[in-house]
């Protein structure tokens, strides 16, 4: 969808000579903040934020860098949550093995769904992914291991590598932070690899990529599986953090939520989805105590974002004079 994004207006801005160092410093500051954060905020809230930040980043890998709008990412997130929860609780696996199973399960789901969905483009792609994830939702509703409406409850967090007790919320927080950082590094590496460049070229002009001899379908499928696997990593983490996996995680509303996070933060930016996830999670926390339904606000924010600032918060900053002077640029 980035193919037709508006060109950035305004005169050319020279990049600050130390832009690279400033960017690195910003990342370092963010890392220090993340390490210190549990001293000031609830660890469970922060962990939720990290899990959804990773989920949105995984989604953005597909939308922002490949130009494919998936309306079915809840299937990977929620599916992995079920797989991890089941492995850890029923089979007694260690948390890292459970997470791995979640990732592999989500990747397998992504392979099947992706292979079907990439047969159509654009708007059809979105509808097909939505329909397939709804099919998975009905499967989860009826399958025995998911326990239907109850979901999988009281999932043990266990001991990481058999040593570190994850029931301690600080240990758990740093584990989640490490997984989150790992996921982001994978995404960053992926996007900036030759493979990622080909994905961007497919996004910009699919026909030309075909004419240059790239097997577009295979690249799209690979990106889809990659995005599904990382969404699964986030879903597995979520199951360990909250110690349950339910139908909410596989419902279509969850697919909508992750789109909103990405759109709000900035499609095609690395930091955008994380900011977007932070905003949405904070909003949900804030509204959890009132009886005002979140969906109204979600819906209105969606409409406002699409109508007025399609670049998202981080995207707008990147497009501003200061952002460009610091050498930031949105991929879209």
Binding site residues, another protein, CB under 8 A: 1, 3-4, 69, 116-117, 119-124, 126-128, 130-132, 134-135, 138-139, 141-142, 252, 256, 259, 263, 292-303, 305-307, 310
Q: Alpha-carbon torsion 111, 206, 53, 246, what sign?
A: negative
Dist. CA 78–CA 222, nearest whole Å:
21
Supply 157's token pair. Answer: 């967090």
Cβ closer to another protein: 181 or 297?
Answer: 297
- Of 155, 157, 187, give the one whose Cα is nearest residue 175: 157
Cβ closer to another protein: 3 or 92?
Answer: 3
Cβ closer to another protein: 166 or 319?
Answer: 319
CB 85 within 8 A of CB 239: yes
Query: Shortest approach of another protein to residue 280 CB, angstroms?
Result: 13
Query: Shortest approach of another protein to residue 107 CB, angstroms?
Result: 19
Query: Shortest approach of another protein to residue 293 CB, angstroms?
Result: 5
Query: Shortest approach of another protein to residue 297 CB, angstroms?
Result: 8
For residue 323, report the phi and psi dihedrals to the nearest 5 degrees: -60, -45
Dist. CA 47–CA 41, nearest whole Å:
10
- Of 11, 63, 76, give the one whose Cα is nearest residue 325: 11
Query: What b/e string do you get for 237-262 counting C-beta neighbours within 10 Å, with b at 16 or more?
Result: bbbbbbbbbbbebbbbebbbbbbbbb
Query: Shortest approach of another protein to residue 331 CB, angstroms?
Result: 15
Question: Could you give the residue ranges of the DSSP H alpha helices within the chain?
Answer: 19-36, 43-66, 74-89, 95-117, 122-142, 169-191, 194-204, 206-211, 216-242, 252-265, 272-287, 294-308, 312-319, 321-325
Dist. CA 230–CA 109, nearest whole Å:
12
Cβ closer to another protein: 11 or 291?
Answer: 291
Dist. CA 88–CA 91, nearest whole Å:
6
Cβ closer to another protein: 30 or 141?
Answer: 141
Query: Shortest approach of another protein to residue 143 CB, angstroms?
Result: 11
Query: Shortest approach of another protein to residue 156 CB, angstroms?
Result: 32
Bridge partners (DSSP) of residue 245 are 152
Q: Give 156's DSSP letter.
A: -
Query: Shortest approach of another protein to residue 287 CB, angstroms?
Result: 11
Dist. CA 64–CA 60, nearest whole Å:
5
Query: Shortest approach of another protein to residue 7 CB, angstroms?
Result: 13
């Amino acid at each position: 969808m980035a193919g037709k994004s508006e060109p950035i207006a305004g005169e050319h801005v020279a990049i600050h000579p130390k832009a690279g160092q400033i960017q690195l410093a910003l990342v370092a500051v963010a890392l220090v903040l993340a390490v210190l954060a549990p001293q000031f905020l609830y660890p469970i809230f922060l962990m939720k934020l990290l899990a959804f930040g990773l989920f949105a980043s995984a989604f953005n890998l597909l939308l922002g860098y490949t130009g494919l709008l998936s309306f079915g990412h809840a299937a990977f997130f929620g599916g992995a949550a079920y797989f991890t929860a089941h492995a850890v609780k029923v089979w007694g696996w260690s948390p890292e093995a459970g997470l791995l199973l979640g990732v592999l399960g989500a990747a397998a789901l992504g392979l099947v769904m992706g292979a079907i969905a990439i047969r159509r483009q654009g708007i059809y792609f979105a509808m097909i992914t939505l329909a397939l994830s709804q099919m998975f939702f009905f499967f989860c509703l009826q399958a025995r291991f998911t326990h239907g409406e109850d979901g999988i409850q009281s999932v043990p967090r266990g001991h990481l590598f058999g040593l570190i007790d994850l029931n301690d919320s600080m240990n758990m927080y740093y584990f989640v932070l490490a997984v989150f950082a790992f996921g982001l590094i994978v995404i960053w590496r992926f996007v900036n690899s030759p493979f990622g460049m080909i994905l961007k070229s497919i996004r910009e002009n699919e026909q030309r990529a075909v004419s240059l001899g790239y097997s577009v379908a295979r690249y799209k499928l690979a990106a889809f599986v990659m995005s599904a696997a990382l969404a699964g990593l986030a879903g597995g983490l979520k199951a360990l953090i909250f110690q349950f996996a339910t139908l909410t995680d596989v419902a279509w509303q969850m697919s909508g939520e992750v789109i909103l996070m990405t759109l709000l933060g900035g499609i095609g930016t690395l930091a955008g989805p994380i900011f977007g996830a932070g905003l949405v999670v904070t909003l949900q926390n804030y509204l959890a105590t009132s009886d005002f339904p979140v969906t109204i606000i979600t819906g209105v924010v969606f409409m406002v974002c699409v109508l007025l600032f399609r670049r998202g918060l981080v995207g707008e900053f990147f497009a501003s004079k200061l952002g460009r002077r610091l050498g930031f640029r949105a991929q879209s």
